[in-house]
Structure 1
């Protein structure tokens, strides 16, 4: 109801003030533009979605693997974790042109741009999974760790039956953060790359619409991007609740 009220006020305000569409289009005009240009905008969104999914999967595999490695040795964690922090705090806009240039030198083929965009999105999505999973693996109950040691459990058994289940809520929380960040990284990288043609993503459509003062079309592309981000977050939230619903306090149903 709040959302509908805001949209109604937006539409009424645009009409009463006679605001030109190239400054601020109304919601109705944005929806009409979305329907009209669906054949161009939706394929571009699928390109961005493909980059997002590949980067997100790469972030999951690398973040989880390195987090497990960190928990096996404090010296390894203290030696390499600061570099993960540096990677996270480096502005992706600043290093994206370098990544695109380097990848084109290594992979001069037609897939070099796609690889570059995936790397940029991976950099943005990688750290939340690594930090959350590392925290979860280190947060296992010390009494249970002592019990595992008492029964001479191996490191692999302790990891598999104690640390990983204990870290699951933290890991899933990192997934929900990284899913949206992967989309942001993909869009920002597309802005920097400025690739056109049939393989251009939704960011290129936003960029060209702003250059040509096609503001309703730019808002339609932004709407698609926002809907995709919300869909990713909701899907990961439902997945998290499904895995945690029978045992974790964040998702279990209360009788009262």
Structure 2
């Protein structure tokens, strides 16, 4: 028999090693290029349809008119966007703090969860359009009413996901912490909260988009108007005046804002989980 040298190693598969990083870069590039190409194709189809069939601008404006309206009306749309973003981020911040604190309370005491969870569900399933006028009656300003409405919608995903994450802590690790005499606070901060982080980040991605949607819907329901109004009022104003290019411009601003919020929360999730959690680690085989 022929002896095999100890230093011999099995042949490497094609694409393994250094080629894998190149493949990953190529795949990441495709994920950026393909959506951009699709967007360009849709915009081109939109422009062709409007031109070919001579669609009036008060029915469907072309992309050039929408961009022109976005530039010319930025003095109106820009401040409205800032108002909507202010309500969105304030509601999201309050939802994150309140959702995490109540989730910790639920995970610490089953009886507190039994007593309060039905009312949290009621807040979630009640249509915000139905309760926005009622909230407007009991608040001193419209902005407070909009903030409460946006918070109600964004609160539940953070609460439910974080509660589920805290309850999903590995029981073997809990037993190990008890074995070493860890206190409840040590167990919470060193074990339960890190274990619940992926669940919390998933709830954050959902709550970010819902806070924006709720801010717009609540403004529709509240019927706010004036110089300090958000994009919802500008949408209604454009509709009433048949200024459809401005309406499309406001819609595009809302869409871009929603995508940016989702992208930011997804990036935060990736940065926090990429080194240790299975959902963010790339498989080697």
- Both structures adopt the same fold (TM-score exceeding 0.5): yes
Whole-angstrom distance in 1 between the partners of 2:182 and 2:87: 41
2:186 matches 1:163: no
Q: Indicate yes or no: 2:65 matched with 1:29.
A: yes
Task: Compute the displacement of 1:20 (Å).
Answer: 1.1
Matched with 2:249 is 220
What are structure 1's unaligned runs of at least 5 residues? 105-111
Query: CA offset at residue 194 of structure 1?
Result: 2.3
Question: SS where residue 176 of structure 1 aligns?
Answer: helix
The equivalences for 1:86-97 within 5 A come to 86-97=122-133
* Cα offsets for 1:206-226 (capped at 9, x unmatched): 010011111111010010011
Deviation at 1:27, TM superposition (A): 1.6
> Hey, what's the Cα distance between the residues in 2 that align with 1:195 and 1:103?
13
Can you list the C-alpha shifts for 1:64-84, whole angstroms capped at 9, x where unaligned? 000000000112112211211
Matches within 5 A, 1:13-162: 13-104=49-140, 112-162=141-191
**1:3 and 2:27 are equivalent in the alignment:** no
Q: More helix by proportion, 1 or 2?
A: 1
Whole-Å separation in 2 of the counterparts to 1:250 and 1:151? 29
Shift of 1:195: 2.1
Q: Report the secondary structure of 2:123's partner residue.
A: helix
1:235 corresponds to which residue? 264
SS in 1 for 2:227: helix
Deviation of the 1:254 alpha carbon: 4.2
Give the RMSD, CA atoms, in angstroms. Answer: 1.1
Normalising by structure 2, report the TM-score. Answer: 0.85
In 1: Cα distance, 2:157 partner to 2:211 partner: 11
Aligned counterparts, 1:182-201, within 5 A: 182-201=211-230
- Post-superposition offset of 1:13: 0.9
Aligned counterpart, 2:16: none
Could you tell me how far apart the structure 1 residues matched to 2:175 and 2:57 are?
67
Structure-2 separation of matches of 1:211 and 1:14: 22
TM-score, normalised to structure 1, is: 0.94
Deviation for aligned residue 1:95: 0.1
Cα distance in structure 1, aligned partners of 2:137 and 2:251: 28
Cα distance in 2, alignment partners of residues 197 and 94 from structure 1: 23
Give the number of the structure whose alpha-carbon radius of gyration is greater: 2
Secondary structure, aligned partner of 1:197: coil
Higher RCO (C-alpha under 8 Å, 6+ residues apart):
1
Query: How many equivalent pairs are there?
Result: 249
**Aligned match of 1:108:** none
**Structure 2: how far apart are the matches of 1:137 and 1:89?**
23
Once superposed, which parts of structure 1, at least 4 consecutive aligned residues long, lie more than 6 Å away? none
Work out the CA distance in 1 between the residues paired with 2:61 and 2:232: 19
How far the C-alpha of 1:192 sits from its partner, in A, is: 1.7
